Amino acid sequence: MTAPSLPADYLDYPLRREGMDHDRYDWSMLPQRPPVAWPGGARIALWVTVSLQWFPLNMKGQPFKPPGAMQTAYPDLRHYTLRDYGNRVGIHRVMQALGRHGIRASAPCNAAVAQRYPSLVKACLEQGWELLGHGLDMDHLHHGALPVEEERAWIQQSLDILQAASGQRVRGWLSPAKSQSHTTLDLLAEAGLDYVCDWVNDDMPYPVRTVQGALAPSPAHYQHAPGPGGATGVTAGRGLVAMPHPIDIDDHTILVQNHHTEDDFRDALIDQFDGLYREASPGNGRIVAISLHPWAIGQPYRIGALEEALAHIMGHEGVWAATGAEILDAWQQGSPA
C-alpha cells in the first residue's frame, strides 16, 4: 500500500511568521522596544483590578464553565452565595485595603452587577475607581460560535447599562473568562473602547489591529516591529490597545484553582513586583498588574495577605498607583505628565 503524499501547497501558509498566526499585532520583543517613562519618574505603574461579577444560579455553562461557575446540581446555593459574599461583604475589605495606600482600582463590572447592586457601583465611584466593561454576566461568554450580531448586541447592552449606572465613559474591557470570538476585538473598537485586558502575552501595552482602523494610534515613543515585507503596520483610525492583565498571579488562580496558601499568594505578588522593579528604571517603566476577586481575597483570613503585599509594594520609591485608563494615557504620551 502506497503511503498518501501531502499536497504540494501543504506548507504554504500565508500567516506563518514570528509571533502568532494572525496579524492582530506586530510581533516584537519587549527588551528591544524604546523605554517608557511614567509620570513623576516612577519605575512601576501599579494597576489593581477588582472584578465585580454575577454568576446566575441557573447557569448554562456554555460553551464552557467560566472560573467561579456553579458546580453542583441546581440550585447550587453553596457556590452562588459565596460569589454573592464578594459583592456584599468581601469587596469592602478590598476597598479598605486599597484605600489605606491611596490606590484607586479599575473594576471590570458585569452589567448584571450594575443592575442588581447599584450601591456597589456608587461605592466604587466614591473611591475614585474606574469601571470597565465585563460583559452582561458570567454566563454570557464570547466565543467563536456566537453570531456576530448577537455579540455586538451583548457588548452594546453591557456598555449602555454600565455607563448609565456610573455616568462614566467606559474605556476598558475585560471579557467574561477572558473569552473572545474572532470578531470581539473589532466589535469592541466599533463600540468605542480604548483598551482590552483579555490577552496575557506581554508585560506592557501594545497596539492591536481591528477592522475599523488597523493598529491603534501609536504613541510617539513606541516603534512597531516591521511586519511582513518590512511594513510597520502603523495606520490611522480606530484601534485598541492590549493591556497586560496576567492570570497566573491573580487570587483565583493561586488560592482557588491551584490551592496554594495565603502566604504563597502574598509571596507571589511580592516576587512579581520585585522582579519588575529590578528591570525598571525612572525612564524605563514597567506595569505590575494585580487581579482580584472579592469573593476570593475578601475573606477575613485572606485579606491580610493582600495587605502585606501592598505594604511591601507601596513601601518602595517610584511606585505610581493608577487606573488602567491613566496608565494607557501615560503610555501613549510616552513621557512624564
Q: How far apart are the first and last CA of the chain?
A: 72
Within a domain: 15: no
Structural domain including 291 reads 35-223+230-333
Q: What is the pTM of this model?
A: 0.89
Within a domain: 10: no
Number of separate helices (H) and strands (E) present in the chain:
11, 9
Within a domain: 320: yes
Within a domain: 30: no
CATH code of the domain containing 237: 3.20.20.370
Q: Looking at residue 155, what is its pLDDT?
A: 98
Within a domain: 13: no
- Write the DSSP assignment of 200-225 as a string of letters: -S-SS-EEE-BTTTBSPPPPTT--PP
Compute the distance between CA of residue 175 and CA of residue 46 in angstroms, rounded to an integer. Answer: 21
Q: Looking at residue 7, what is its pLDDT?
A: 79
Within a domain: 26: no
Provide the residue-wise pLDDT of the chain in tens; the chain has 337 residues.
666 777 777 777 666 666 667 788 888 899 999 999 999 999 999 999 999 999 999 999 999 999 999 999 999 999 999 999 999 999 999 999 999 999 999 999 999 999 999 999 999 999 999 999 999 999 999 999 999 999 999 999 999 999 999 999 999 999 999 999 999 999 999 999 999 999 999 999 999 999 976 554 445 444 433 333 333 333 334 579 999 999 999 999 999 999 999 999 999 999 999 999 999 999 999 999 999 999 999 999 999 999 999 999 999 999 999 999 999 999 998 743 3
Within a domain: 306: yes
Q: What is the largest CA-CA distance in the chain?
A: 75
The number of distinct structural domains making up the chain is 1
Q: Looking at residue 17, what is its pLDDT?
A: 65
> Residue 287 forms beta bridges with which residues?
45
Check: CB of residue 34 under 8 Å from CB of residue 221: yes
